[in-house]
Amino acid sequence: MLILVVNCGSSTVKYQLFDMQDPEQGRVIAKGIVERIGLPGSRLEHYYDEKSVIREREVNNHKVALEWILEVLTDPQIGVIQNVKEIEAVGHRVVHGGEKFRESVLIDEKVIETVREYVQLAPLHNPPNILGIEACRSVLPDVPQVAVFDTAFHATMPPHAYTYAIPYEYYEKYRIRRYGFHGTSHRYVAERAAKILRRDLSSLKLITCHMGSGVSFAAIKNGESIDTSMGFTPLEGLIMGTRCGDIDPAIVLFLMEKEGLSIKEMDEILNKKSGVLGVSGISSDTRDIEDAAPSNPRAQLTLDLIAYRAKKYIGAYYAVLGGLDALVFTAGIGENSSYIRKSICEGLEHLGITIDEAKNTVRRKEAVISQDGAPVKVMVVPTNEELMIARDTWRLVAQKR
């Protein structure tokens, strides 16, 4: 079965075409991205057979972008299929599924309408997700489509983990609660960690650390998420590239009054001017911060903050899990930064967490980096959200047949 995985942003469409003959592994036969949709300078980057090509043309909307992708996939010179009819299903990343979607689902009009209801909870993400779904339904009208939700994996959190201590009526009226994000990534690395350890996921206590430009940790017990660091929005939790993470909410009110800031301006500060960028004053990319740290105190402070906040979450999740079998690092920082992994794990020896410095040099490869015989396995597991989407799509479409 050939499955097209689509991830739509406000001005981008990322895609991967999977051959799911082996649903466990999958095989990417082409991938790429259309950028600057609706903007001058629209371009497509397409990767196939260890080759790549870049093309430019005007792309006014997501439907035009999808039509271009299908055109490239079937191109006699650079394509990988002869006809779009070879695509048997499409899997979509959808950021917010609210409380109604606890797992991936086949898309119909009712599903689209429900996703639309959650636009107010994810105003930057759900609208382009919907545009992508509608575009695919337009250009591939007879092909089954599946929605895979970032929030779904965290639907197993108990009420005491997802409820905020504000008047309960706001939960009842507006569904204000912790939802959590990066769920597809947390689910993938948890399953891979269990396979690497040759253990049943249903018997494990894991802390998964998704550390990229966005950062979230999850406490996973017996295969289910029981807590996660992101909350009602992706702003809560750990320090991120440009997001502040946990903050005293009174600071927001204080700054709005002192600086005369509007809601939009305050939102811009919290989401786009804070975090690693805000503290360092250098960059939102931790690679730049690591390079600058030896001679820049604010850069070093930024790295210290990242490690300190991470330790606090690991300690908290160790407590709620009642122990720990493995600590798993993933995503851009987690997969590549030996310095940040080491900084986070230093001082956690009393929890059974110890790093082997030679093993910790690994980058973008599955590896156990803890010391031999350590009670807690420390692991690096590169994430693969697209494969997870392809798997869920394959499963739901195969069940329907």
Closest C-alpha among 297, 255, 302 to residue 279: 302
- Supply 174's token pair: 């507006």
- Supply 89's token pair: 């299903």
Type of residue numbered 350: H
For 237, list phi and psi in degrees, rounded to 5. 110, -135
Of the candidates 150, 227, 325, 392, the residue annotated as catalytic is: 150
Interatomic CA distance for residues 260 and 258, integer angstroms: 6
286 burial class (0-12, 13-18, 19+ CB within 10 angstroms)? buried
142 burial class (0-12, 13-18, 19+ CB within 10 angstroms)? exposed
DSSP state of 235: T
Interatomic CA distance for residues 43 and 60, integer angstroms: 12
Q: In 89-141, which residue ranges form alpha helices assigned H by DSSP?
A: 109-117, 126-139
Closest C-alpha among 34, 2, 43, 36 to residue 15: 34
The answer to whether 368 and 194 have CB atoms below 8 angstroms apart is no
Q: How many Å is the Cα radius of gyration of the chain?
A: 22
Coil, helix or strand at residue 103: coil
Residue 150 annotated among the catalytic residues of the structure: yes
User: What are the residue numbers of the active site?
Assistant: 150
